[in-house]
Amino acid sequence: MSISARGIATSVLCFFLITIYKNKKLWYNILKTKTEVQIILKQLFLHSKKYLKECICGPLFKLFEASFELCVPLVMKQIIDRGIGEGDKNYIIRMSLVLVLLGVAGLISTVIAQYFSAKAAVGTVASMKSALFRHIQSLSYTELDRVGTSTIITRMTSDANQLQNGMNLTLRLFMRSPFIVFGAMIMAFTIDTKSALSFAAVIPALSVVVFGIMLLCIPLYRRVQQRLDSVLLHTRENLTGVRVIRAFRREEAEVSSFEGKTEELCSEQVRVGKISALMNPLTYVLINLAVLVLIYTGAIQVNSGKLTQGDVIALYNYMSQILIELVKFASLIITITKSVACEHRIEKLFMTQSSMELCENGRTPENVGNIVFENVSFTYCGSPEPVLEDICFEAKAGETIGIIGGTGSGKSSLVNLIPRFYDATKGRILVDGVDVKELDLDALREKIGVVPQKAVLFGGTIKENLLWGNKNADEDTIEEALNASQSAEFVAKKENGINSLLEQGGKNLSGGQRQRLTVARALVRRPEVLILDDSTSALDFATDASLRASIANLPYNPTVFIVSQRTSSLMSADKIIVLDDGKQVGLGSHAELLESCSVYREIHESQFKKEGEKI
């Protein structure tokens, strides 16, 4: 029987090696997983230094629990052979108490291990999330545009949570399962060498089934994760654009598209589920065959007096422990594979570096009022054509510069170059005679107030939102900003005034109120350069005129850039830049452009005709 067991073990091992040799994909998966595991361990080590004690204590207490579990079959053997066999009830009671003690000790060890593992996993991933958020904040608009908002959100939530679960399970099971498998085999050999040879035969066979199925499932699980990312992206787009979808009556089309993506995800999950579902029946068939062999050989040796009934029961328990732990370990490896894939995507974000070169010893600008564009061209990353081409103008301190042009002419792109949200592809931007790339970026932006095209407010009070412009602003500065932005009246009508709560995104305000508050937030900074990027589009003409008049009368006299589609908003500007398809086709005052620039004249005439006014 021993020769047969050795032969079976050798045959299974040879079959396992030949299968891997012939299937190059298995080798590829193994090597790829090994490389990715090295990456994840390196990244996790950087963020788990504070939790080194927890990372050690978690697996250590799990080994204690495993040791107690390995002792249980030996205690059962003694109860059967000595207690039941000899009819010693007192011995049975004493050994039963030992079983209870082992169970309590194992439970305590498990709870402690779970505590340390969870603390290490949650703390490490929280540290990684914080580091990732700081890194994202350091990226320029170019990288944020390329990566995409949905990708960043998925990495910081779904992927990070999957990584946390993987780390938690790894600390608890990665050492425990192999320890029990090999420990059970060693303990079996201490009971009976001949019977334990069935362990040596069944473990390779179980390994072939468990790890073979695991290696087949690894690439399929990666594909499932990709399908899940696609579903999440589509869901986010639909929730963000739900009003547009309803406005154009595209509900049925979007529902159909979503169902298609979910069906693809479902089919992938069913496919991998069918393969992974083979694990339990195959392993149970193998283990039960081994149990039959074990009971058969054990029964013969019990009859011959070489083994006791307790020995056979102990061997059977060790066989069951091996089965359970191998299945657990296979599931753990699949979880680790998912976690490695998620961490690999997180690592890609960490590896994304800002394309904006920062000057280490950048100069701190004293004044930023004078701004000069010298043959400035700009191209978005991945775009084949420039968005702006050969832009030349000078804005002197205290002047108001208007920027107008058709949709997609590059108006917002132009003003985004001033605070260095993007860097010019060609040419130079001078601030008080110094290239903007040679200035300290934080110091430059401290002197610039930007009101973006989309009014964005945050959950909290109105005052908290205004203090984003200047956290040290006093009450007089806030009042001045509210008056200048034409916000004081509607803020005063609120029950709690400036301490009234705003919902996320300012959803409990109208579009015009949101725009005025974003202007007030920029004015709280008392900036030397104020950029209004089409930020008064929701205001009526009277409020818009009052706002521009108030800004013109500000005591600190900032240089103002106004991006607008209305010529009425730019009539009083010192200079107006006219853009057409990224090119500067006009520069001058309102009266000058009406005579010299056909593009500006067409825009002006079309607007005033629509309003029924004379030109």
Last residue of a domain, one of 351, 367, 391: 351
% the chain with pLDDT above 70: 92
One domain, residues 458 and 569: no
How far apart, in whole angstroms, are the C-alpha atoms of residue 33 and residue 27?
10
- Looking at residues 287-315, what average pLDDT do you find? 80
For the record, the structure tokens of 614 come out as: 């004379």
One domain, residues 138 and 152: yes
One domain, residues 507 and 559: no
Last residue of a domain, one of 324, 351, 378: 351
Examine the pLDDT at 243 and tell me if it is beyond 90.
Answer: no
At 415, the pLDDT band (50, 70, 90 cuts) reads very high
Q: Which CATH number fits the domain that encloses residue 344? A: 1.20.1560.10
Task: Tell me what pLDDT residue 11 has.
Answer: 52
Helix (H) or strand (E) holding 513: helix 511-523
One domain, residues 471 and 423: no
Q: Which CATH number fits the domain that encloses residue 500? A: 3.40.50.300
Q: Which of 220, 205, 180 is closest to 282 using CA atoms?
A: 205
One domain, residues 384 and 517: no
Residue linked to tokens 């990666």: 222
Inter-residue contact 54 to 123 (CB < 8 Å)? yes
How far apart, in whole angstroms, are the C-alpha atoms of residue 237 and residue 225?
18
Greater confidence, 568 or 283? 568
- Looking at residues 167-195, what average pLDDT do you find? 83
One domain, residues 260 and 375: no
Last residue of a domain, one of 493, 526, 559: 526
* Sequence-distant contacts of 287-292: CB under 8 A, at least 24 apart: 287/202, 287/206, 287/319, 287/320, 287/322, 287/323, 289/202, 290/198, 290/199, 290/201, 290/202, 290/319, 291/316, 291/319
Up-side HSE of residue 494: CA atoms within 13 Å toward CB?
17
For the record, the structure tokens of 52 come out as: 């080194």
One domain, residues 330 and 376: no
The residues, any chain, with a CB within 8 Å of residue 428's CB and separated by 6 or more, are 374, 375, 376, 435, 436
Inter-residue contact 17 to 207 (CB < 8 Å)? no
Domain count for the chain = 3
User: DSSP letters of 547-598?
Assistant: HHHHHHT-TT--EEEEE-S-STTTTT-SEEEEEETTEEEEEE-HHHHHHH-H
CB burial of 12-28 (b: ≥16 within 10 Å; e: otherwise) equals: beeebeeebeeeeebee
How far apart, in whole angstroms, are the C-alpha atoms of residue 143 and residue 292?
62
pTM of the model: 0.72
SS3 268: helix
Examine the pLDDT at 450 and tell me if it is beyond 80.
Answer: yes
- Looking at residues 324-350, what average pLDDT do you find? 78
Examine the pLDDT at 196 and tell me if it is beyond 90.
Answer: no
Task: Tell me what pLDDT residue 311 has.
Answer: 83
Greater confidence, 13 or 319? 319
Examine the pLDDT at 403 and tell me if it is beyond 90.
Answer: yes
Separation of CA 593 from chain center? 49
pLDDT averaged over every residue in the chain: 83
Residue 293: CB atoms within 10 A of its CB come to 20
At 15, the pLDDT band (50, 70, 90 cuts) reads very low
Lowest mean pLDDT among 51-65, 291-305, 410-424: 291-305
How far apart, in whole angstroms, are the C-alpha atoms of residue 35 and residue 156?
22
One domain, residues 345 and 437: no
One domain, residues 345 and 379: no
How far apart, in whole angstroms, are the C-alpha atoms of residue 272 and residue 269?
5
- Looking at residues 310-324, what average pLDDT do you find? 81
- Looking at residues 286-298, what average pLDDT do you find? 78
pLDDT tens figures, 510-542: 888 899 999 999 999 999 999 998 888 778 888
At 16, the pLDDT band (50, 70, 90 cuts) reads very low
At 609, the pLDDT band (50, 70, 90 cuts) reads low
One domain, residues 414 and 308: no
Beta-strand relationship, 400-405 and 559-563? parallel
SS3 356: coil
For the record, the structure tokens of 344 come out as: 């690999």
One domain, residues 333 and 426: no
One domain, residues 108 and 241: yes
At 5, the pLDDT band (50, 70, 90 cuts) reads very low
Taking CA atoms, 204 is separated from 10, 341, 566, in Å, by 9, 28, 78
Whole domain around residue 493: which residue ranges?
A: 453-526
